[in-house]
Amino acid sequence: MRFQKKPAAIPVVRDELNKYSGEVSRQLQGTRIGEIGSDAKIIVEDYPLLPVRRRFWEHCFRQIDAAGTSSQLRSQLRIIHDAVDKLANRPLGALVPGDELFDALAPEMVNTGVLLRELNEKIIALSPDWKSGDQLARRVCGLIVLISKLPREAGADIGVRTTKEHLADLLVDDLRGDNGKLRDDVESTLNRLVTLGVLMPVENEFRLQTREGSEWDRESRIDRRN
């Protein structure tokens, strides 16, 4: 999908993307869907959806939509259109964040059994418990769900992981923002969610805890203290 730009806006958008090329280039660097040379030819047309994130969404669509409904072109266009529409009144530099796809697909994921209702309710319940206006905890968990559905077998693994680095990459929604602070906030949010028993660390990645898993983890911590 490409977004048409007014001729006069094209050089303005390109200058903005060039100005923040460092942030653009670091998106999912080292994975199979990271920045490639041909992105330069389409990045202005793709904006405000970065080519890297478009590829991420495409892989997520294929894995999440077991019934083959949301992966149809019309459904994809609707989701992307709605995501872009949310940025209509934001200044140049705003980006469609990677977690936007979770918000669009979560209800259907629950209905088709791709996402446990228990986990979805746990994510929804985070919102009123956190004071930050951007609901970072909820956004982090939504991304973890998406990434956890991606295949890891040889040949199909694109290398995207639920690490603090990849999660932060996909959460950047403003090229002009303080994204160094965002990355710090993502790390502290992950640590807080682990303490609350919402997430479980697995080496340098994170997994959502089911109710049973949270109870087991809480009991094991009590045992260790005793």
- pLDDT score of 223: 47
How many CA within 13 A on the CB side of residue 189?
27
- The residue behind tokens 């994975």 is 31
Q: State how far the alpha carbon of 106 is from the alpha carbons of 63, 112, 140, in Å.
A: 13, 10, 14
- Which residue, 136, 163, 137, 63, is CA-closest to 105? 63
Distance CA 41, CA 47 (A): 12
- pLDDT score of 78: 85
- pLDDT score of 101: 93
Dihedral over alpha carbons 198, 201, 207, 210 (to 10 degrees): -50
pLDDT in tens, the chain (226 residues): 556 677 888 999 999 999 999 999 999 999 999 999 999 999 999 999 999 999 999 999 888 875 566 556 567 788 888 999 999 899 999 999 999 999 899 998 998 889 999 999 999 888 654 454 448 999 999 999 999 999 999 999 999 999 999 999 999 999 999 999 999 999 999 999 999 899 999 999 999 998 655 544 454 444 445 5
- Which residue, 124, 119, 118, 121, is CA-closest to 137? 124
140's tokens = 């982090």
57 burial class (0-12, 13-18, 19+ CB within 10 angstroms)? buried
- pLDDT score of 224: 46
Interhelix angle 100-112/136-148, nearest 10 degrees: 60
- The 3-state DSSP class for residue 210 equals coil
Distance CA 156, CA 149 (A): 12
Report cis status (omega within 30 of 0) of the bond before 201: no
- pLDDT score of 74: 62
- pLDDT score of 108: 87
> For residue 65, what are the contacts with CB-CB under 8 A and spacing of at least 6?
71, 105, 108, 112, 114
Distance CA 221, CA 86 (A): 43
- pLDDT score of 67: 59
Please name the amino acid found at residue 82: D
